[in-house]
Amino acid sequence: MRIDVVTIFPGYLAPLREALLGRAIDAGLISVAVHDLRTWTHDVHQAVDDAPYGGGPGMVMRPQVWGEALDAVVGDVPSGEAPPRLIVPTPAGRPFTQAMAHEYAAESRLVFACGRYEGIDQRVIDDAATWMPVDEVSIGDYVLVGGEVAVLAIVEAVARLLPGVLGNPASAEQDSFSDGLLEGPAYTRPETWRGRAVPDVLRSGNHGAIARWRRDRALERTAARRPDLLAALPPTALDRADRAL
Ligand code: 6GU
């Protein structure tokens, strides 16, 4: 997969080269290019923003600069090839979910356009949408200063789904959200720590009992922390033992 990120703070994306993602890049599973938006300015001040039409606080990112940047970064899409998907992180976007991470993981190219200030002139997004799929995406109900941290979160969620990126692919299959529930608690050695014992069932060797116990803890935790997820499960997702809980 090829990933391009356009930003006025390229240094913000340095963590993409660390740890799991860094290894995926080194292994050739992902290639990442980070582009400085100011490359496509033509004035001495390299201005990327201007006052909003209609008034109000803050600044809006100028369309000319973004238009040239996206033309250059996307490049000529060979005929017969699909254009990349453009992802625009914004608190006004559609909430990013694990299902979207799976959709993005199936793409061969992703381009991220990081806005700052009050956002990017809407015509940039509307114009891009005439020649490529465009998603305006939020990573949660709070406001960040810019899209860069959202890109880090989205790229990490997508990259770990790519074949070969995780050492043990089973970890992705057992995630929170893969069955619509939050994962329950986990334990490792020692057996007792600060007077707290590991639940007996996990040391019983009874795999059926362990699976049932984990399922119950996942259901309890989801009910307590994310009742909205439980309510959204299809009726077939719960068995008789689940309902008895
Ligand atoms: Cl994607 N961008 C910004 N600036 N703030 C956010 C966000 C994105 N998602 C939640 N808050």
Mutate to test the pocket of ligand 1, among 112, 120, 135, 139 (most ligand atoms within 8 A of CB): 139
Centre of ligand 1 from the C-alpha of residue 154, in Å:
11
Per residue in 187-223, pLDDT (tens digit) is 999 999 999 999 999 999 999 999 999 999 999 999 9
Q: Tens-of-pLDDT digits for all 245 residues of the chain? A: 999 999 999 999 999 999 889 999 999 999 999 999 999 999 999 999 999 999 999 999 999 999 999 999 999 999 999 999 999 999 999 999 999 999 999 999 999 999 987 899 999 999 999 999 999 999 999 999 999 999 999 999 999 999 999 887 777 766 777 789 999 999 999 999 999 999 999 999 999 999 999 999 999 999 999 999 999 999 899 888 888 88
3-state secondary structure the chain: CEEEEEECCHHHHHHHHCHHHHHHHHCCCCEEEEEEHHHHCCCCCCCCEECCCCCCCCCEECHHHHHHHHHHHHCCCCCCCCCCEEEEEEEEEEECCHHHHHHHHCCCEEEEECCCCCCECHHHHHHHCCCCCEEEEECCCCCCCCCHHHHHHHHHHHHCCCCCCCCCCHHHHCCCCCCCCCCCCCCCCCCEECCEECCHHHHCCCHHHHHHHHHHHHHHHHHHHCHHHHHHCCHHHCCHHHHHC
Per residue in 40-75, pLDDT (tens digit) is 999 999 999 999 999 999 999 999 999 999 999 999
Establish whether 242 is a catalytic residue.
Answer: no
Establish whether 191 is a catalytic residue.
Answer: no
